[in-house]
Structure 1
Amino acid sequence: MKRLLIGAAAGALLLPATAALAQDIGHDHACLDESCTIVSLFSGEETAAGWQGTEAPKYGTWGFDLAGRDTAVAPGDDFFRYANGTAIDKLIIPSDRTSYGSFALLRELSDNRMKELVTGLAARTDLAPGSDEAKIADAYRAYMDEARIEQLDAQPLQPYLSAIRAADSHEKLAAYMGQTVGRFGGSFFGTGITIDAKQPTRYVVSTGQSGIGLPNRDYYLDARYADKKEKYQAYVADMLGMIGWANPAETAAAIVALETKIAEAHWTPIQNRNRDETYNEYTIARLAADAPGFDWQTYFDAAELGGTPRLIVRQDTAMPKIAALYAETPVELLQAWEAFHTADDMAPFLSKRFSDAQWAFRSRDLSGQPGQRSREKRAISFAENALGEATGRLYVAEYFPAESKAKMEQLVANLRTALSHRIDGLSWMGAETKAAAQEKLTKFTVKIGYPDKWRDYSGLEVRADDLVGNAERRGLFEWNYDLARLDEPVDKSEWGMTPQTVNAYYNSANNEIVFPAAILQPPFFDPDADPAVNYGGIGGVIGHEIGHGFDDQGSKSDGDGVLRNWWTAEDKANFEALTTRLGAQYDQYEPLPGYHVQGGLTMGENIGDASGVAVGLEAYHLSLNGQVAPVLDGTTGDQRFFYGWAQVWQSKYRDEALKQQVATDPHSPAQFRVIGPLRNVDAWYDAFDVEPGAKYYLAPEDRVRIW
């Protein structure tokens, strides 16, 4: 289902879909996270590994378990390890996960609660037909009906394959690709409806590069991923063989060769982050003139967008190259390409031979996940995603106390005050830009817990005996929802994540920070913890999301969400000099031999982390009202703050997952989300007596202090 998403949560959501999640909702290559307006706190798997109880883990008597440290490591040599090492050593990554840690443990709590809610509904016989509860139950039942799924086998694919075979010209195939927006299938171009970055009170059609089945261009062009490309070709051949396509091995080689050419035309992930370069206003006629070889009007007509007066083209220089590749590729190969991507897209909802084949490549081979998630877990995730806010409404009613929202509102207010103080004290920014920054800060919208109004799912049909149909109708339901509001004003009450999501985000077009209910639990937020730990945990998260409004891309929008320059030339130059220095630090980090963090790709998140720590610490100090923080178990307030930040990122990864993260993800690996920001904070050096000679020591003049 290839479309650009604007309102989904992390994954196919607005982060790259993980292999595990792809089994539940289908993967989507049309929208890389850096192409969307939402930037989130975390990008790890959004799916659970095991149902291990409904109680949150305990974190010591005041919010941090000192026994989880590895004191054999000096704080300045590896604070991530110093704060978390013993706890991490005890972590065992479950076979159906590619990483494990604080986020995963909390997500398991959320998913266990969703299990109780969804299976509880599925066991009932008194649900009103057509109600949200009945639809949730039927979505689960359809996924769990293995006998029917096996009986159908490849039958649900046949209408698609027949339509592909009937699309026997370039023009017909362009129309077919247009029809895949919101449906199963693939396209050389990703299209959807987004908030207009320069007119954020309205929506606009957006289109950009797509057409590849591996995570990004590096997997085709970088020799480090040659083994993944080889396994991908074998997977393509396997899938073509299962659907009865002629000459599967030979055809698979041709498909991968075609996608390699497409990848060569793609912009890099770092290029895709530049919001100035990815906002290119076009008409369909102009796009047809600039990128000939693809039937653009036919494509947009089929997507029900043919009458749009304007659209935003993201990778404008890539589009002509991809269109030319389309024109020069034989129809028979394009049909085979489309057949594979349709089967790949539908595989999670087909018989075991299809879903197992997709898991083996996308989860095991790409991400190093040795075991497949149980069907029950996949069924619950499918039901949860199919009716996200309906399940979220049940979650909130059962598990989110009103007092958590009130306490969060106070914390957010404190963080805003802290950032305001820090802006006033910046030495590198002049008065004019400071005034504009303060104005933007006052205009932040804060959303906590859950939406004020819930999505209406009355128009979504869900049947207990039609898994593929449920998935397809869900995609069309969302697409029709987007189409219906194209000419309407932007609904700023909408949420981009469900309440049960363990994450948080900043949306530049709405200038808003959003904190779903499920993240407001330990280790992020614990009403019984010492305030320093809460400020290091959820305070750092709040500061991180506010910081996105002032990172290298978020800072390009003003307080009303308009993409425009509100900086003086001198201040912008000073800011870019600081971010360049920060990026150079991250370029040096090497989580695995030969795999360095990309400072340019992770820049926004790194600035968010640096802001979260700096602003969170300032807010904690303000909260003391001039008093000295108590010493608890021999730890000072500042030490407990830094422990609070460190334990949020307590996690370990499988090597293959870490390689994929470095290549595709704008978030740095967990260890450098701890080490990276802390080594630039003077108070960290004082708190832990970090002296010259420590591995991560930075001289005061080399520390990057942005916000």
Structure 2
Amino acid sequence: MTQKLAPLALTIGLVLVAGLASPDAIAQKKKKSAAKPKAPPAPTVCSDFFSVATADWMKANPQPATGSVTAMGQLTERSLQQQRELLDAAMQGPQGNVQKLLGDFWASGLDEAAVERDGANPVAPLLARIDGIRKAKDIAPSIAALHQVGIPVAFNFGADIDLRDLSRHIGYFSQGGLGMPDPEFYTRGDADTKAVMQRYEEYVQRILVLAGTPADRAAADAKLVVDLETRIAQSSKPIVSLRDIASNFAPVETKDIGKTYKRLQLADFLKAQGVTDDVVSIANPQLFAQLDALAGSLPPAQWQAYLRFHVGNAMAPYLSKSWRDTEFEFRGRVLRGQATPPERWRAVLDAINTAAGPMVGHEYAARFVPAGTKQRAEEIATNVRGALVRAVDRSPWMGATAKTEAKAKLEKLKIEIGTPRRDLDYTVQPMGRGSFGGNMLIASTWRHREEMKRIGRGNADRRWDVLPQQPTLAYDIAQNRLIVTAAMLQAPVLDMSADTATQYGAFGALVGRELTHAVDYKGRLVDAKDTIRDWWTPAENDAWNALGQRMVTQFSQFEDPALKGVKVSGTQTRDTNLADLAGVELAWDAWRSNNAAADATAQKPFFQGWANLWATSSSMQAATERAATSVHSPGKWRVNGPLMNLPAFAEANTCKADSAMVSKDPIRVWP
């Protein structure tokens, strides 16, 4: 048996042992101690919930050398693999006509030997038509014909909302017709821009040769193409100005358009597109006056070179290898900074989604969204909308009139899940396995025709501006509807294997953040009758801005988790931070209203569901770019920020008042 030492004896013993240690040993100990600074304490739920909640995910997804890995990015990747699985099945054993058409389309793209044999055959009829241009009056019909097959030249024309009547679409004539992504490439004079433009001219020359232009004439024709595009660019608006839809809405009556732009023959252009509406928008008449003049003043041969290039440029990704390589060397390497082309299946899938996306979308929803999943999503979304109605009622910053308008909007708000409620015909015919480029033109022609059918009264709610197979959850302000695509109805957004608390914390919170836009600083611009007007008072505007400023102050104190010494830009991320907080508040209220008796154990999965959405692992370069440009906070603060402001989080996790996860000045969007 060991004899216990009395406390005094133990103390003396420790002093004696210390005394026996040599000065060198003591110095060495100090050295070791200095060399090993004390490690920071391990994160806890109450100090850094994000790190605890995403620990397993972070282990499975270590920091990449380049780019970022995110939970939501993984969802997008999964949806691509699901689409591949769908199309493989349609190719090997189609069930029904639509799958047969899609399977043939898919097979034609994957058969690279057939694509190689096909060469430039798909574009031969288009090039032959361009060769037939002899006079100035032949130019406009050729422009219209290319628009019909989905190759917009000289300008863009598409369907969009009539800002005077949100129930309909009108046709928008807008700037376009350039081979470079921004008009400023043609007008800036710095050395870097000139170098890129030289590379572009070389690219134009190579495409022209592939399109049949004699090699000894291609260099001169490439200069003609760039010259024509430069003239278009000089009359184009800066890209940033195009973001303001109101300033780009300029309705004019179609009965006068043919007289105003005689050489462009815009009245005949509309007939060729199947458009019979009485109004279109032309926001930049100076550009169209310039185009009208160019159609009469430039030699037809210059227009021929321009049109030949744009046919080749648009179709190059879908033709034989020489075309694809030429396109990738400039657009892939120079403009997009890509080292290697995408895998063949990815390129083909992207092409099919571009040309026949709604067709894929309907099959995707049928295959991957069970009826029970859609029903659960509708149930949660409806409950969250109910929570928002209650939140509006008790809002301290909304006045009585605004509350009435907000509740009227929410009463009328539509919830569309999986696929659009209304849609235009989505079956592209005919297609086969013989020619991928030919199939692309057939599908592109169909797509353009169906888009033109959106123009007119009562058509504005047809089709979404996103495809069902693309993960998206968004509020459509013009149609006062919540859109949830089929691809969004899976983990980590709506995990049907998880409990309802997790589902509300993830899917419900995303619904809440988007529905808030129906009545916040964005939704205030459209009333319950779908009229564009501001229904907030100055006092409500001031109250919202005050909330925003508090959010700016709070988030500006947070250090970027990937960049030492860099703080989050509270100003840059203000609006998304407010929306995140609003979403969590509403989802929590919606869940608790149906689970009032749930204890802390049952509550905790709600917060885990929110954290599951924003797991992120970034390279230094990606983190730097995100900090400089993104309107979203880093994943850590998208999780911790809203939860710090939610009293329920601290209560469920028994966090003390001085814990890092408890805000000293909590912000509430919907108290």
- Tell me the TM-score normalised to structure 2 length: 0.75
2:242 equivalent among 263, 272, 284: 272
Higher helix residue share: 2
Distance 2:206 2:581 in 1: 46
Q: In the alignment, which residue of structure 2 is the partner of 1:462? A: 431
Give deviations 1:573-616, integer Å, cap 9, x for gaps.
655676689799999999999x9999999987666545434433
The Cα shift of 1:139 comes to 0.8
Q: In the alignment, which residue of structure 2 is the partner of 1:675? A: 637
Give deviations 1:397-449, integer Å, cap 9, x for gaps.
44322221222122112211222233233333221112101111111111222
Q: Is the 8 A contact 1:176 1:299 kept in 2?
A: no
Matched, 1:411 2:377: no
Share of identical aligned residues, percent? 24
Indicate how the Cα distance of structure 1 residues 479 and 662 shifts in structure 2: closer, same or farther if over 3 A, else same: farther
Q: In the alignment, which residue of structure 2 is the partner of 1:156? A: 122
Q: In the alignment, which residue of structure 2 is the partner of 1:474? A: 443
The Cα shift of 1:300 comes to 3.1
Matched, 1:238 2:206: yes
Distance 1:89 1:242 in 2: 49
Matched positions, count: 618
- Aligned-partner SS, 1:206: strand
The one-letter code sitting in structure 1 at the alignment partner of 2:413 is: F
In the TM superposition, 1:310-459 aligns within 5 A as 310-313=279-282, 316=283, 318-321=284-287, 323-324=289-290, 327=293, 330-331=298-299, 332-383=301-352, 387-451=356-420, 456-457=425-426
Indicate how the Cα distance of structure 1 residues 481 and 244 shifts in structure 2: closer, same or farther if over 3 A, else same: closer
Distance 2:182 2:61 in 1: 30
The one-letter code sitting in structure 2 at the alignment partner of 1:646 is: W
In the TM superposition, 1:259-658 aligns within 5 A as 259=229, 262-263=232-233, 265-268=235-238, 270-284=240-254, 295-305=265-275, 307-313=276-282, 316=283, 318-321=284-287, 323-324=289-290, 327=293, 330-331=298-299, 332-383=301-352, 387-451=356-420, 456-457=425-426, 460-484=429-453, 486-487=455-456, 489-490=458-459, 492=461, 494-550=463-519, 552-572=521-541, 575=544, 608-609=579-580, 611-625=582-596, 627-630=598-601, 636=604, 639-640=607-608, 642-647=610-615, 650=616, 652=618
- Aligned-partner SS, 1:204: strand
Q: In the alignment, which residue of structure 2 is the partner of 1:21? A: none
- Tell me the TM-score normalised to structure 1 length: 0.71
Q: Is the 8 A contact 2:173 2:280 kept in 1?
A: yes
Max Rg structure: 2
Q: Is the 8 A contact 2:150 2:448 kept in 1?
A: no
The one-letter code sitting in structure 2 at the alignment partner of 1:116 is: E
Distance 2:306 2:218 in 1: 11
Indicate how the Cα distance of structure 1 residues 655 and 169 shifts in structure 2: closer, same or farther if over 3 A, else same: farther
Indicate how the Cα distance of structure 1 residues 205 and 325 shifts in structure 2: closer, same or farther if over 3 A, else same: closer
Distance 1:621 1:395 in 2: 34
Q: In the alignment, which residue of structure 2 is the partner of 1:133? A: 99
The Cα shift of 1:135 comes to 0.9
Matched, 1:204 2:189: no
Indicate how the Cα distance of structure 1 residues 462 and 276 shifts in structure 2: closer, same or farther if over 3 A, else same: same
Indicate how the Cα distance of structure 1 residues 325 and 398 shifts in structure 2: closer, same or farther if over 3 A, else same: closer
Q: Is the 8 A contact 2:504 2:606 kept in 1?
A: no
Indicate how the Cα distance of structure 1 residues 393 and 165 shifts in structure 2: closer, same or farther if over 3 A, else same: closer
The Cα shift of 1:513 comes to 1.0
2:110 equivalent among 130, 136, 144: 144
Q: Is the 8 A contact 2:573 2:632 kept in 1?
A: no
Q: Is the 8 A contact 1:196 1:203 kept in 2?
A: yes
The one-letter code sitting in structure 2 at the alignment partner of 1:277 is: S
Distance 1:599 1:207 in 2: 38
Q: In the alignment, which residue of structure 1 is the partner of 2:139? A: 173
Q: Is the 8 A contact 1:638 1:683 kept in 2?
A: no
- Aligned-partner SS, 1:630: helix
Q: Is the 8 A contact 1:186 1:342 kept in 2?
A: no
Distance 1:173 1:354 in 2: 26
Q: Is the 8 A contact 2:576 2:631 kept in 1?
A: no
The one-letter code sitting in structure 1 at the alignment partner of 2:340 is: G
Give deviations 1:491-532, integer Å, cap 9, x for gaps.
746455444332223323321112122211111112333545
The Cα shift of 1:489 comes to 2.8
Q: Is the 8 A contact 1:188 1:211 kept in 2?
A: yes
In the TM superposition, 1:38-117 aligns within 5 A as 87=57, 91=61, 100-117=69-86
Indicate how the Cα distance of structure 1 residues 374 and 505 shifts in structure 2: closer, same or farther if over 3 A, else same: same
Q: Is the 8 A contact 1:658 1:669 kept in 2?
A: no
Q: Is the 8 A contact 2:54 2:612 kept in 1?
A: no
Q: Which segments of 5 or more consecutive residues in structure 2 lack a partner in the other structure? A: 1-39
Distance 1:699 1:231 in 2: 56
The Cα shift of 1:662 comes to 7.9
Q: Is the 8 A contact 1:412 1:542 kept in 2?
A: yes
Q: Is the 8 A contact 1:586 1:676 kept in 2?
A: no
Q: Which segments of 5 or more consecutive residues in structure 1 lack a partner in the other structure? A: 1-69
Give deviations 1:6-60, integer Å, cap 9, x for gaps.
xxxxxxxxxxxxxxxxxxxxxxxxxxxxxxxxxxxxxxxxxxxxxxxxxxxxxxx
The one-letter code sitting in structure 1 at the alignment partner of 2:611 is: Y
1:183 equivalent among 139, 143, 149: 149
Indicate how the Cα distance of structure 1 residues 289 and 364 shifts in structure 2: closer, same or farther if over 3 A, else same: same
